[in-house]
Amino acid sequence: MKQIDVAVAIMLNTEQQVLTSWRQLHQHQGGLWEFPGGKREPDESMFDTLQREIHEELGVSVETAAPFVRIEHDYGDKQVSLDVWLVSHFTGEPQGKEGQALRWQTIDELEKGEFPAANAAIIEALQRASI
């Protein structure tokens, strides 16, 4: 089974809201909301992946981030390993550079059913952490 390593950003604004983005319908798990991020390239650290993907997807630069949680999930056709980071400082205003809609939500507003299955554990970790 294919293993995919993914860097995921939990981006917080000054109101302690989390940024989520809409997965395009043609994507795996399309039509759901997600935390921004993407696949690691060969010979790339997870922090480098985080910085590259967030810049490509949102047009912002990650300045400060800390590891938060690592989630393993089996979708049947692929196994994903999500390396989740809390991004506490970034420069620029997030924009959907790939045509995706964006929204800011409080942690309490995050609904597991609106996200890919692997993201449910991220939402639970955020709720437990009381960020």
Q: Is 65 exposed, middle or buried (0-12, 13-18, 19+ CB in 10 A)?
A: buried
Q: Tokens standing for 11?
A: 């981006």
Q: Is 119 annotated as a binding residue?
A: yes
Q: Is 34 annotated as a binding residue?
A: yes
Q: Is 94 annotated as a binding residue?
A: no
Q: Is 13 annotated as a binding residue?
A: no
Q: Tokens standing for 88?
A: 């506490």
Q: Is 23 annotated as a binding residue?
A: yes
E strands, the chain, are 2-11, 18-22, 33-34, 37-39, 61-74, 78-91, 102-105
Task: Pick out the residues of the known binding site for Mg(2+).
Answer: 37, 57
Task: Pick out the residues of the known binding site for 8-oxo-dGTP.
Answer: 23, 28, 34-37, 119
Task: Pick out the residues of the known binding site.
Answer: 23, 28, 34-37, 57, 119
